[in-house]
Amino acid sequence: MATRAVGYIRVSTEQQADGGVSLDAQRAKLEAYAALYGVELVDVVVDAGVSAKTLARPGLERALSLLDSGAADAILVAKLDRLTRSV
């Protein structure tokens, strides 16, 4: 049985123009990873123009609710800094 993951992608306003962190680039990385490792992407949730200062973000809250409900087993991010500033 494949792992079911919710993809989470985020950009803050100043990072949208940076190479490699655009929403399209992040989505492509998630889809490539999922295809390579047999991960089922149940959804890709987007927080566009939202800072990582807080975990109170609409997209992240939706992704976490998919975990809580059992609709997904994991959150998949292109880079850890897309999830949070402080590891």
**Active-site option among 12, 22, 51, 69:** 12
**Average pLDDT over every residue of 58-71:** 96
With a cut of 60, say whether residue 29 has pLDDT above it: yes
Q: What is the pLDDT of residue 59?
A: 92
> Is residue 67 pLDDT above 50, yes or no?
yes
**What are the C-alpha distances in Å from 57 to residues 6, 31, 48, 65, 66?**
15, 23, 10, 12, 14
- State which amino acid sits at residue 29: K
Question: Is 12 marked active-site?
Answer: yes
- pLDDT category of residue 38 using cuts at 50, 70 and 90: very high
Exposed e or buried b per residue across 18-56, where buried means at least 16 C-beta atoms within 10 angstroms of its C-beta: eeebebeebbebbeebbeeeebebeebbbbeebebeeee
Which one has a higher pLDDT value, 73 or 81?
73
Phi, psi of 66 (to 5 degrees): -65, -35
pLDDT of res. 18: 57
